[in-house]
Amino acid sequence: MDSIFTSENGRLVRRYDSETLWIEAWGDNSLRVRATRLGAMPEADWALLPPSPAEASVRIEGDRASVRNGKIEARIDDKGRIGFWDARGQALVREYARMWDSEGTPCAIKVPGREFTPIHGGDFALVARFEAYPGEKIFGMGQYQQSKMDMKGCILELAQRNSQVSVPFALSNRGYGLLWNNPAIGEVAFGENRAEWKARSTKALDYWITAGDSPAEIEEAYASATGKAPMMPDYGLGFWQCKLRYRTQAELLEAAREYKRRGLPIDVIVVDFFHWKKQGDWDFDPAYWPDPEGMARELKAMGIELMVSIWPTVETGSVHYQEMLRKGYLIGVDRGVRTSMQFCADTLFYDATNPGARDYLWRAAKKSYYDRGVRLFWLDEAEPEFTAYDFGNYRYHLGPDLQVGNLYPAMHAKAFYDGMKEAGEALPMNLVRCAWAGSQRYGALVWSGDIESSFDSLRNQVKAGLNMAIAGIPWWTTDIGGFFGGDVRDPAFNELLVRWFQYGALCPVFRLHGDRLPGKAPLAPGGTEFHSGADNEVWCFGDESYAIFRKFMLLRERMRPYLKGLMREAHDKGTPPMRPLFYDYPEDERAWAIEDEYLLGPELLVAPVLAAGAVSREVYLPAGADWVDARGERSFEGGRSVACEAPLDELPLFVRRGSGLVGHELFR
């Protein structure tokens, strides 16, 4: 009898009934697993780059087979169940299947590890099941607005929404990382009894798995598989001023000049949305922005980079609508009215999965902005943010939303990355409200979306940012102070803003933004008819707060050389600048449980104050190093918690003993 297994150019292939299964080396210590019930395996690589050469060893022994690549081995038993082992022979993770017991006796439950359910007239719904393990902890997966950082026990929607970012890479404390390399809308449940990954409509199972002796080794392998961030330009390292919204060129320039008059460091200032006449015009409204070139020149002379907001929405009355409709550059729907977002007008989103549409949008943006001196774009609404998240209704160039929708933000970032590189930009970087696996290689700086102004929200952002880092997105930031609900007249909000500002100063990117209350009325009918928030410059919140803001802005400025080194590591190796304690101290079990502290690089431990009224907090110092209070130079042995005073103008910081930062003037 012919074997159901073959070895084809180092790839293990199993053909049984209508299923074809491929397992092959894909980078060092890593394997890619694909399966389909179609006639041929789909060719799309999705988030993955072409692999570096790796020597895989394939063994076929009757109705069993295995493939080894460095520190990881996949074994397929005689029932088709896949398991993964490390170099020491320890099980990492196995498919969950209840078709037979361990002795091969049939099981009445009959739950397979890989289940393709045909969709009548379409492709397949897919479930991939894996065993659950006591004590396992799981991190990454992108950004979810929740209080848990450890994803064990969580159910996560695999879909993009405003402030929710699905980047489906999971890092386990068992020594593996798994990328669900499928952009379909779905769900993952990391249950106590089993884990299930689901795609609502797909053509194939596709995931990538790697083994490593440390989180850093796993993270670096993942970065090699999906791409590394470019080197961050120097202007990304300083302070970014933003608000909802500067209504005119004069308002923006006056804010920039005031920063300079006060001697405050500032690197970026932002022109937010509704600087246009209609969504989809992708141009300044000349009534309120009469001289964009002159504005950009004046800002550059002050050492300030200009960022401009771009939305992917196209009004039916915009100058580009008819041409984009004719060329098929707009997202379609399978039923009902084609409007996909109602926000001040009926709009459609352009189709970022269409190469022609990406090029069209970039050409329009280049003419209106880049050629006038703008080198930094804010790619808002990049999920895209449908008015109705009816994923089963939208259709893209690459296929139905249900099959490819999570890819949209990465392709939107690619539109501007490719265009800027073609235009000669050496270090493209753009602020994007969403991401998917691989977005980092397109210069995507992700922020956490339109979040509320509260301490609960601030606590959630700390966890979200760390999981985004583990999910492979090294450039990340928040709206300092939150976006919704911050009343500048409220002392409680002022306290929140100060604590958030301290945290923001020690994030990868330091950016002040929000829709402050009380709002300002629009100036006149026309393109600026949307309201503006209250003033949001650092001098607008009272003398005490201003003194604290200034202190942390100057700290950030002194940190430039250190931060630049971290960004170099992110570019070279994929090392996240901001990461959980366990990243550098995986042998310390307590470090895996700490969710309200983080490391900024290998030498600095940050413990933000995350509760209203708090003037002290407990800080855990991981074992494996001794630690020095960054300001007081008190020394502590690692592996213990210490009580820290934290008056409103202080943020607990610790430096690893032996580091060049001990006693550094950075903290004067």
Looking at residue 667, what is its pLDDT?
75
pLDDT tens track for 353-392: 999 999 999 999 999 999 999 999 999 999 999 999 999 9
Tens of pLDDT along 113-130?
A: 999 999 998 899 999 999
Instruction: Tell me how far apart the alpha carbons of residues 467 and 168 are, in angstroms, rounded to a whole number.
Output: 11
Share of the chain above pLDDT 70, in %: 98
Q: Above 90 in pLDDT, residue 137?
A: yes
Report pLDDT digits (tens) over 420-465. 999 999 999 999 999 999 999 999 999 999 999 999 999 999 999 9
Bridging pattern class, strands 268-271 and 305-310:
parallel
**Which residue ranges make up each domain of the chain?**
5-226, 236-308+356-383+404-573, 580-667
The rounded distance, in Å, linking the Cα atoms of 53 and 25 is 8
Q: Quick check: 353 and 396 in contact, CB under 8 A? A: yes
Identify the CA nearest to 363 among candidates 310, 317, 399, 322.
310
Q: Assess whether the previous peptide bond of 245 is cis (omega < 30° from 0).
A: yes
Point out the catalytic residue in the list 86, 380, 479, 597: 380
Identify which of 466, 413, 356 has the alpha carbon closest to the alpha carbon of residue 227: 413
- Annotation says 450 is catalytic: yes
At 16-64, the pLDDT tens digits run: 999 999 999 999 999 999 999 999 999 999 999 999 888 899 999 999 9
Tell me the CA distances in angstroms from 194 to 97, 133, 152, 517, one per residue in order: 10, 8, 10, 46
- Other Cβ atoms less than 10 A from the Cβ of 579: the count is 23
Q: Smallest Cα–Cα separation from 651: which of 565, 555, 579? A: 555
CATH superfamily ID and name for 236-308+356-383+404-573: Glycosidases (3.20.20.80)
Q: Please give the model's pTM, rounded to 2 decimal places.
A: 0.97
Q: Helix crossing, 543-558 with 491-505: angle to 10°?
A: 10
Q: Alpha-carbon distance 604 to 659, whole Å?
A: 9
Contact indicator for 206, 46 with CB cutoff of 8 Å: yes
Distances in whole angstroms, Cα of residue 378 to Cα of each of 310, 428, 432, 455, 484: 6, 12, 6, 26, 19
Phi, psi of 300 (to 5 degrees): -65, -35
For 474-490, what is the mean pLDDT?
Answer: 96
Tokens 């209250």, residue located: 534
Q: Which CATH class is domain 5-226?
A: mainly beta
Q: Which of 77, 383, 401, 603 is catalytic?
A: 383
Mean pLDDT of 643-663: 92
Query: Which position among 45, 115, 346, 450 bears the catalytic label?
Result: 450
Q: Name the amino acid, one letter, at 556.
A: R
Q: Taking all residues of the chain, what is their mean pLDDT, rounded to a whole number?
A: 96
Q: Are 484 and 452 in contact (CB under 8 A)?
A: yes
Average the pLDDT over 66-87 and give the result: 97
pLDDT for 442: 98
Three-state secondary structure call for residue 210: strand
Q: Are strands 305-310 and 376-379 parallel, antiparallel or unpaired?
A: parallel
657 burial level (CB within 10 Å; 0-12, 13-18, 19+): middle
What is the rounded average pLDDT of the residues 552-578?
Answer: 98
Strand order in the sheet with 114-118: 114-118, 124-131, 194-202, 186-190, 155-158
pLDDT band at 211 (very low <50, low <70, confident <90, very high): very high
Residue 598, classed as helix, strand or coil, is strand
Give the pLDDT score at 523.
76
State the alpha helices, DSSP H only, in 155-285.
Answer: 215-226, 249-261
Structure tokens at 124: 């397949």
Q: DSSP label at 655?
A: E
Distance CA 198, CA 179 (A): 13
For the cut 70, the answer to whether the pLDDT of residue 571 exceeds it is yes
User: How much is the pLDDT for 74?
Assistant: 98
Which has the higher per-residue pLDDT, 632 or 259?
259
Asked if omega into 233 is within 30° of 0 (cis), the reply is: no
Q: Is the pLDDT at 526 greater than 70, yes or no? A: no
Does residue 527 carry a pLDDT above 60? no
529: left (phi over 0), alpha (psi -120 to 50) or beta: alpha
Say whether 236-308+356-383+404-573 and 5-226 share the same fold: no
pLDDT given at position 656: 96
Give the pLDDT confidence score for residue 666 in this predicted structure: 75
- Domain 580-667 matching CATH 3.10.450.240: the answer reads no
Per-residue pLDDT tens digits for 223-237: 999 999 999 999 999
Q: CA 161, CA 577: separation in Å to the nearest integer?
A: 25
528 has pLDDT over 80: no
Burial class (CB in 10 A: 0-12, 13-18, 19+), 74: buried
Give backbone dihedrals phi and psi of 217, rounded to 5 degrees, phi first: -65, -40
Contact 277, 526 (CB under 8 A): yes
pLDDT on residue 1: 63
Quick one: which of 585, 582, 664 has its CA closest to 625?
A: 585
Residue 192 annotated in active site: no
Q: Is the pLDDT of residue 663 over 80?
A: no
Whether 529 sits among the annotated catalytic residues: the reply is no
Identify which of 491, 489, 480 has the alpha carbon closest to the alpha carbon of residue 514: 480
Q: How confident is the model at residue 322 (pLDDT cuts 50, 70, 90)?
A: very high
Q: Rounded CA gap, 4 and 458, in Å?
A: 54
Q: Give yes or no for residue 279 having a pLDDT over 60.
A: yes
Distance CA 385, CA 167 (A): 17
Distance CA 304, CA 239 (A): 10
